[in-house]
């Protein structure tokens, strides 16, 4: 079973970010600390936590859109009349004339639709993937990491929306958060690949 390009990309970005966090920490705790980093530790912790969540959200958007785009293409290739789909959904052959359309169905889920629907918040992730026919709650590794991801995202939300301090987070905590995110996206990716949606 191969890994998605999305997983490879964002796991690498998270790893690079982990290296940057480690280098920042070294500059803060060295015998002669770098004043730029030392005097602005809280700023850098907030920035790195925000970046972790940004990469997580970008992975979720990209992998969800790749699934939606597969479905978009299948629907377009199938050349199904819109009336037929309306009939199948409503179970009524009595569609009003104004609702009838004999053209092929061409409604697509766009990248913007996905972006508007999903966030790194696990509950929104679960909801969006259910719309794509994937129940992530059936994935044990997803469930095992969901509450930790919820805490990470909650902390980020407090920083972004309320300018909360990040004084209770260390650089080591951030590196642990990266490891959790990497396990989380790997679990999602593995579960999606096992579903063979393409």
Task: Provide the whole-model pTM.
Answer: 0.90
Domain boundaries, the chain: 5-72+110-195
Report how far residue 23's alpha carbon sits from residue 26's, in angstroms, rounded to the nearest whole number. Answer: 5
> What's the whole-number mean pLDDT along residues 27-56?
96
CB neighbours of 170 closer than 8 A, spacing ≥ 6? 45
CB atoms within 10 A of CB 179: 12
Q: Going along the chain, which residue ranges are E strands?
A: none
Statement: residue 23 has pLDDT above 90: yes
Tokens of 39: 């005097």
Residue 198: pLDDT over 60:
no
Q: What is the pLDDT of residues 70-91, one digit of tens each?
A: 999 998 899 988 878 777 877 6
């Amino acid at each position: 079973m191969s890994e998605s390009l999305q997983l490879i990309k964002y796991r690498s970005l998270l790893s690079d970010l982990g290296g940057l966090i480690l280098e920042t920490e070294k500059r803060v705790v060295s015998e002669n600390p770098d004043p730029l980093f030392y005097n602005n530790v809280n700023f850098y912790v907030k920035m790195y936590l925000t970046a972790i969540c940004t990469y997580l959200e970008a992975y979720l958007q990209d992998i969800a859109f790749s699934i939606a785009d597969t479905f978009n293409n299948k629907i377009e290739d199938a050349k199904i009349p819109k009336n037929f789909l309306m009939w199948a959904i409503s179970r009524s052959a009595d569609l009003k004339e104004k609702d009838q359309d004999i053209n092929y169905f061409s409604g697509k889920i766009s990248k913007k639709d996905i972006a508007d629907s999903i966030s790194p918040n696990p509950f929104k992730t679960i909801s969006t993937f259910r719309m794509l026919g994937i129940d992530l709650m059936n994935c044990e590794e997803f469930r095992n990491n969901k509450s930790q991801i919820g805490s990470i995202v909650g902390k980020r939300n407090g920083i972004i929306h309320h300018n909360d301090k990040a004084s209770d987070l260390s650089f080591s905590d951030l590196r642990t958060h990266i490891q959790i995110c990497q396990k989380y996206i790997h679990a999602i990716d593995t579960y999606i690949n096992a579903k063979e949606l393409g």
